[in-house]
Structure 1
Amino acid sequence: MYSLTVRDRMMIAHSFTGAVFGPAQRLHGATFVVEATFRRAVLDADGLVVDIGIAAGALRSVLASVEYRNLDDVEEFAGKNTTTEFLCAWVADRLADRLGTGLDSIEVLLRESDVAWGSYERTL
């Protein structure tokens, strides 16, 4: 399986609902380093998994739609806890919509810090 990974970052604010989240129930900020890995078993006719510039541009576009926003105010996220894991799937789904043709899977990893991160992989 071949893979190509691009990296970007986003800054957001959000809060969580539920005692399990402790002080994170209050509004707080997060800066995520976001890695998107695209996989396919066979390279395309140009010898690529996906063009790096196209992949980086698609990731930037997805992140820009929520960057510097309070996710609590985004209608699409109403009633949802925008956890690291949730956001991984949200980013992966949008990347699949943009670049999914010909790929076998997309994995998105969000690094919340140097000691904590989550990921989600979806097959296509």
Structure 2
Amino acid sequence: MFSVTVRDHMMVAHSFRGETFGPAQALHGATFLVDATFRRAALDADGIVVDIAAAARELNAILAAFHLRNLDDDPSLAGRNTTTEVLAQVIADRLVERVHAGAFGPGARELAGVTVTLHESHVAWAGYERGL
């Protein structure tokens, strides 16, 4: 399996519901380093997994919807604790929607999967992997 990863970041504010989260139940900020990895079994006719520029552009566009915003106010996330794991899934799902919409070009039709990893710090991260 071949893979290509692009990286970006976002800074958000959010709060959590539930005793599990202790002080994080209050509004707080988080900065995430975000990796999006695209996989496929065989390279396309151009010898690539996916157009890296398109992958970077699409990841940036998805993160721009969250960057410097309070996630508690985002209607698309209403009713969910915006944990690192949940955000990884939301971003991966939106990337797959953009692949299916053609934003990555025709070569992306053969992608097998996408993995999104959000790094909370240099010692903690979470991710979500899904097929296409």
Tell me which interval the TM-score lies in, with the shorter structure as reference length. over 0.9
Per-residue CA deviation, residues 45-68 of structure 1 (Å, 9 max, x unaligned), is 111100110000010000001111
**RMSD over equivalenced CA pairs, Å:** 0.7
- For 1:53 and 1:6, how far apart are their aligned partners in 2? 9
Map residues 70-109 of structure 1 onto 2, 5 A cutoff.
Answer: 70-100=70-100, 101-109=109-117
Q: TM-score, normalised by structure 2?
A: 0.92
- 1:99: Cα distance to partner? 2.1
Per-residue CA deviation, residues 37-95 of structure 1 (Å, 9 max, x unaligned), is 00000111111100110000010000001111100000111111000000000000011
Q: TM-score, normalised by structure 1?
A: 0.98
Residue number in structure 2 paired with 1:21 = 21
Unpaired runs of 5+ residues, structure 2, are 101-108
In structure 2, give the amino acid aligned to 1:117: W
Unpaired runs of 5+ residues, structure 1, are none
Residue number in structure 1 paired with 2:53 = 53
**How many equivalent pairs are there?**
124
- For 1:45 and 1:97, how far apart are their aligned partners in 2? 23
Describe the SS at the equivalent of 1:46.
Answer: coil
Describe the SS at the equivalent of 2:92.
Answer: helix
Query: How many percent identity over aligned positions?
Result: 60
- For 1:99 and 1:44, how far apart are their aligned partners in 2? 15
Task: Give runs of ≥4 in structure 1 deviating > 3 Å.
Answer: none
Residue number in structure 1 paired with 2:106 = none
